Structure 1
Amino acid sequence: MDVEQLKKVLQERLTQSRYEHVLRVAEKAKSMAVRYDISVMKAEQAALFHDIAKCMSKTDLRDILEREQEDPRLLDFHHELWHGPVGAVIAQKDFNVADPDIVHAIRYHTTGRAEMSDLEKLIYVADMIEPGRDFPGVETLRELANENLHAAMGACIYQSVKYLVNKKVSVYPDSIDCYNAYID
């Protein structure tokens, strides 16, 4: 897929601030891909697609999850998690993205999962540390991402789970499995 064409589609589908976030994630993903010898093309593609469903209505997200028979547990959790799996479906069905590693990177960029590929880790981390993010500890995560992708992923999933636990909200099982994989 032509990157410039995809950017035009994203600009139409997303708010301006979300579109700018996606561009920052793509730039971060590309630079990390070079550092960690991961395909820059795959990293850019996954990063550009990662939030393609982010601005869809809750009803539309639910309809796609149900129609595509995605994990029904998703519907028991906050709808903020839904855009990853729906984005993966959109990438596959509407844009013919066939590479399972890219599809998984899109699908799991919010929850993580056990046994993530390096591309999946890269997109998860890039999304969390892109330059527009500002939360306590982000600078430490950025430094770690420059040193060791696996360690950065562990620190990022720890940050995510800790955030959710502190808010006293449910944590999706894939995130717990991911967290457990890094603790072990």
Structure 2
Amino acid sequence: MEYNRRELMQSVSAQMPEKRWQHTLGVMSSAAELAHRYGGDPDKAELAAILHDVAKYWPVERQRAVIEENGLNKELLLYDKQLWHAEVGAFVAEHEYGVTDREVLDAVRYHTSGRQQMTLLDRIVCLADYIEPGRDFPGVDRIRELSMKSLEEGLIAGLDSTISLLIAKRRIIFPLTVLARNDLVRKLEGTE
């Protein structure tokens, strides 16, 4: 996987506030650690982590335009705007940064929502986004503890946290998140 790490990091960091870049650095280190722990590819994990929030601070109108004008998943537009940056980020990674690895692009695309049949890289990047050292929300320490024992247990706890928060705020839940959670629970219970 050929890319200039320094140039990529400079370009991506320029598109977000410093605090978000610090989050991205945390996701990079957490993703690499999870990849080593669970047999993933640390280079792919790092690349997906660098790019995962590339479009997060773009104006929502710009994100909407990218989704609408490029035939991306328009269903996202019916849900929370916080989901849009992942789809747009995968598009940007491919079309502006030349990333061709479908696994990396999908890890960027599904890092916020999850999906059914998540790949190892999907699970690593999604969980790293929850547990990076700068995260501080109720339950994060439990998610970190679980992530050291089981990638799936950690991720289920993270998705449970997101779903519970959305329910508490009376927000609409993106169906793919529920499907991702249920799929992981089935795998752990051996009922898939």
TM over 0.5: yes
Q: 2:95 & 2:9 partners in 1: Cα distance?
A: 18
Of 17, 23, 32 in structure 1, the residue corresponding to residue 25 of structure 2 is 23
Q: 1:72 & 1:50 partners in 2: Cα distance?
A: 19
Aligned position for 2:190: none
Q: 2:38 & 2:183 partners in 1: Cα distance?
A: 21
Q: Does 1:69 align with 2:77?
A: no
Of 4, 7, 21 in structure 1, the residue corresponding to residue 6 of structure 2 is 4
Aligned position for 1:44: 46
Within-5 A mapping of 1:44-123 = 44-123=46-125
1:183 is displaced (CA, Å) by: 3.4
Query: Aligned letter for 1:67?
Result: E
Q: 1:10 & 1:97 partners in 2: Cα distance?
A: 14
2:110 and 2:122 in contact (8 A); partners too = yes
Q: Give 5+ residue unaligned stretches, structure 1.
A: none
Q: 1:63 & 1:124 partners in 2: Cα distance?
A: 25
Q: 2:13 & 2:72 partners in 1: Cα distance?
A: 27
Q: 2:64 & 2:43 partners in 1: Cα distance?
A: 30
Aligned position for 1:139: 141
Q: Give 5+ residue unaligned stretches, structure 2.
A: 187-192
Aligned position for 1:159: 161
Deviations 1:133-154 (Å, cap 9, x if unpaired)?
A: 1111111110111111122111
Partner of 2:14, secondary structure, is helix
Alignment: residue pair count: 184
Moved more, 76-85 or 149-158: 149-158
1:11 is displaced (CA, Å) by: 2.0
4+ runs of 1 displaced by more than 4 Å? none
Q: 2:29 & 2:20 partners in 1: Cα distance?
A: 14
Deviations 1:58-90 (Å, cap 9, x if unpaired)?
A: 110000000121122111111111000000000
Instruction: Among all aligned residue pairs of Structure 1 and Structure 2, give the percentage whose two residues are the same amino acid.
Output: 33
Aligned position for 2:189: none
Query: Aligned letter for 1:2?
Result: N
1:161 and 1:179 in contact (8 A); partners too = no
2:26 and 2:134 in contact (8 A); partners too = yes
Of 174, 178, 181 in structure 1, the residue corresponding to residue 180 of structure 2 is 178
1:132 is displaced (CA, Å) by: 0.8
Q: 2:30 & 2:181 partners in 1: Cα distance?
A: 23
